[in-house]
Amino acid sequence: MSDLFVRKATGLVRSWSVFDAFVYALFSINLITLGLYSFSQMYYFSGGMIDALIIAAIFIFFEVVVYSALIAVMPRSGGDYVWQSRILGGAVGFILAVTGWWFILWLWVPLYGDMFRHIVLVPILSVFGAKDLALWFAGTQKGAFTASVLTITIVSIFIALGMKTYARIQKVSFYGGMLGLLIVIILLLTGNPESFKTAFDANATAMFGAAPGAYDATVQLGTDAGAATPFSGGGLAAVFLVIPYLVFFNLWPNWGATLYGEVRGATDFKRNISGMGWALGITTLLGIVLLFAIKKTIGWDFYVQAGGAWWNYAWGFAPDATPAFPVWPYPALLASFLTNSSILRILVVVLMSLWWFGWSGTVFLSSTRVIFAAAFDRLLPEKVAEVDERTGTPIWALLLMVVPSVVVAYMFNFNIANFASLTLCSTLVIAVTYLGTTIAAIILPYKKPDLYKASPIAKYNIFGIPLITVAGLIFGGFLVFLLYQWLIDPNALYGIGIKNTSSIIYMLANYALAAIIYFGFKAYRKNKGIDLDKVQSEIPVE
């Protein structure tokens, strides 16, 4: 029978389709949560936002190539941890992976919480008339901390529901969120600056009790804060200085890398590229369209000034300059001011809140796979790779995420030890992890030639040099530039470098903790007769 096939091993339909992975990648570089949040913080730059978006996307595409290639070679749960530990060695792999995929996510929790209050809680409460509660969440430290705790609760439930159910939540959020964004863009493209100014003043007073003239007061506060970032232009050097801040938003199309052991067809290099690459391309395009729509009706200068007015106060640079518009200037909420229909307003903020719900699981989901992979290598107690018998929840892995997150969220939200200044540390530590993976990718064809030659990426070369090496060199160079800007910070733009003691101590503490766990467990297992070097020299089973 010529049309019969041969099967040798267990057949399995993996939990996620390529489309699920695409949606996860798209949400990981979430235009509405990460994007609008960081755009509003980037009010003091000289380089154009649009130019920075496009240039950053070009460099990040090489990240997509690097990760797609590594996934195709070793499609394993745990991603960076598995690749680095098998190519660079156990200590480097463990320390870089657990800091970048586990410890630093503790710091991401208050950031997700901050976006939860600004993008979900405040807009929804305000359109339903709960002004006081909306203002409590928007403007108090207790409100911010409560939002962080709610975030942890919601995300823990998502993790307990499992990959398949989370994929469904993502899909609903994707379609609903896209519909919401379409309405926002239409509202903005059909409005004009004059009607927006009138609507802004009226709604700031009616919804939040702001004093009359909130628009002009916001312009003044923003100008005083130094709001300057242009829509485009500003010279190449200035644009490049915008990018280290911008990548807080879009450095993560590969966020699902640790999950690819559960994605169908992960050995297909081109398919991996298309999943992450389309997410990057579509997000960049949507970003350009949304910013253009904002420019048309809200006005670019006002948008940047409103961000400056908010963050200059929120970061404590001007504690007396209380924002005239007393909530974060969320463009979707501002766009909803352009309609008098209550139903349409509710629809806009509810649909746009789905961008947060579809994305929120990313804070823990990818991390759990790294924790599992390390536990299977016996670098953590085996208990952390167990699930609760009744609920199916990886309860110990979750606790390792949740408990420190509550502590870090408390310190961040109440600004203990200057923690509120650490926002970009969340990006830096992960970039270091990515650099480790990128170096692993560059040397893969030479360090593990048999593995590389047997892989589907072996046929891709540029002038005789493996594509994975070329892409790795380009993306690695980009990461080195980012790390230099963040750590040395010659223009004092990012606030997390060597001049910020809290930042340096916090990051070093993460690496020290990882090293203690690694060498501690290595010694402990050696006493039990288990050689972890040997364990980590083998490619884990699928």
Q: What residue ranges bind another protein (CB under 8 A)?
A: 1, 3-15, 77, 162-164, 261-262, 264-265, 372, 376, 385-387, 389-390, 392, 394, 540-542
First to last CA, the chain: 31
Distance CA 56, CA 40 (A): 18
What is the SS3 assignment for 399? helix
Q: How far is the CB of 460 from another protein (least distance, A)?
A: 22
Q: How far is the CB of 366 from another protein (least distance, A)?
A: 13
Half-sphere exposure of 421 (CA within 13 A, CB side): 21
Contacts of 491 (CB under 8 A, 6+ apart): 241
Q: How far is the CB of 385 from another protein (least distance, A)?
A: 6
Pick 60 or 263: Cβ nearer another protein: 263
Q: Which residue has the tokens 């240039």?
A: 55
Pick 224 or 386: Cβ nearer another protein: 386
Q: How far is the CB of 79 from another protein (least distance, A)?
A: 13
Q: How far is the CB of 24 from another protein (least distance, A)?
A: 16
Residue 37 · residue 226 · CB < 8 Å: no
- Chain length of the chain: 542
CA 471 to chain CA centroid, Å, is: 22
Q: How far is the CB of 260 from another protein (least distance, A)?
A: 12
Distance CA 196, CA 205 (A): 14
Eight-class DSSP state of 34: I
Q: How far is the CB of 272 from another protein (least distance, A)?
A: 14
Pick 11 or 490: Cβ nearer another protein: 11
Burial class (CB in 10 A: 0-12, 13-18, 19+), 473: middle
Distance CA 66, CA 61 (A): 9
Pick 122 or 159: Cβ nearer another protein: 159
Residue 510 · residue 103 · CB < 8 Å: yes
Q: Using CA atoms in the order 335, 340, 345, 348, what is the torsion angle rounded to 10 degrees?
A: -50
Pick 7 or 459: Cβ nearer another protein: 7
Distance CA 228, CA 241 (A): 14
Q: How far is the CB of 256 from another protein (least distance, A)?
A: 14
